[in-house]
Structure 1
Amino acid sequence: MSTERDSGGHRSPPPAPDRLPIPVVDNHTHLDIARDGANPVDPALAIEAAVAVGVDRMVQVGCDLAGAEWTVQAIDRHPQLLGGIAIHPNEAPGHDERGDVPEARARIEELAAHDRVRVIGETGLDYFRTGPEGVAAQQDSFRWHIDLAKRTGKALQIHDRDAHDDVLRILREEGAPAKTVLHCFSGDLQMARECVARGYYLSFSGTVTFKNARGLRDALAVTPLEHLLVETDAPYLTPAPHRGAPNAPYLVPVTVRAMAGVLGVAVPQLCTALSDNSERVYGPW
């Protein structure tokens, strides 16, 4: 989940892009979240629109207890969805202040037993929205989620905002799960190389299309195809040229084609890699 709020207010949804030649996975989306002032998304319609352009599988991510409950209900209704659940790093300090951390974690662990919940996340660190007073709670929560992912054998999805060094340090100290994903990767070229060397997957969102994201495109350029995933982080981070409009899984093809251009590979080749990597990380839908 991003904290981005594009300028320009709420615009009409962008037109559907051309269908991808080979179906891919939206590795991280929030169908339970509507941006400020927007109408709630109809999950069935969002899925239908995505499938129509070659995005036939999605990972729905719930970032708090209510979102986790919603996610488990959604994955039971919609076969195109797998689930990810966690206490988001920006939620962790609040649980710490209320003294209900054990209860919140117990519920996440209970929901994580669902067969179609394949992701523990998004967890991690966010030093942009949470000040120094929340760092200890975030780091403790991150360590607990890492342990849960390893105990359950599920993939770990990491939210990392302005916390690159601590994210990598804690993963090293705790020992990363076998399947670790840097959701909405925001690091530089050097960090991308380190993550690849550690065996992590890097998931790129619409931010890679932004004009000021040269460093992110440099990071993408050095990432091998077998370590790549793609996502929307919808309803946030709408790819250019549609910034300011609501994001949704059907816009994944815009980012895929931009990624192919940066990598210098054919779109079908990238689609095949993205699909194969997703099923390697999450299993079959």
Structure 2
Amino acid sequence: MKQPCAIVAEDEPHLAHSLQQALQQLWPELQIVANVRDGVSAHAQALSHLPDVLFLDIRMPGMNGLEVANALAEDWPDTHALPHIVFVTAYDQYALQAFEAQALDYLVKPVRTERLARTIERLQRAPVAAVSTEQSAHALHTSLHQIERALTTRDVQLPRLQAIQASIGTVLHRVALDDVLFFAAAEKYVRVVTAEREYLIRTPIKTLLQQLDTSQFWQIHRSTVVQSRAIAWANRDANGKMWLRLNQHPEPLGVSRLHTDLFKAM
């Protein structure tokens, strides 16, 4: 039988060390393959090692635990089952009801031995899937979205965008939303692509989505949002990956498996 393995992602070194020691005592068969301090490293190491279990701190630099889990739901290879995820958090009991409602496990800081033991029992009893599927990834994504909404302390309604203020070099332009073919995250910026040219803005994709009409602009990947009427066709390649081709633009855009449902009727 394959030895189970895990990754611990916790930005407080003493808490990470304490959790790893407790895991070694309570579950000696579990191999800790990586111990990381930030979300970007957690995402990278998880895709490198493909662990059975992830212990994710909710509040980490770079990407928080929910963002890491969402990214892994998109990027996880179909040949391996999604990992079991245990969130480590300092949230109060009221907020923790969000995790319980979605049947996702959590540990409260500081982690108590008896609570960790119950978590380990659940993990050891959990059924093992052979592969990851679009359905399992979508279910995880939906649960994470519900948790994120529940943990939001206040519902801030951002104004609907009418146009984009974007730059080319040092020149600021006003770009009509109807002219935008797609938005794509690129390191510190977001590309605003029209049929004629490309602009850069600093507004994150997540914030843009709160200000766009989602019947007009569709998120097809965590880093890409497209103008729905600009889509010419969608198809899958030999590996099952879905791609879009837009009118008036040659660049193919990849669709993550979390968003393929948008194109079932196409």
Q: Which structure has the higher relative contact order (CA within 8 Å, separation 6+)? A: 1
Q: Which has the higher strand share?
A: 2
Under a length normalisation based on structure 1, what TM-score does the superposition of the two structures give? 0.26
TM-score by length of structure 2 reads: 0.27
Instruction: Give the helix-richer structure, 1 or 2.
Output: 1
Q: Highest Rg: 1 or 2?
A: 2
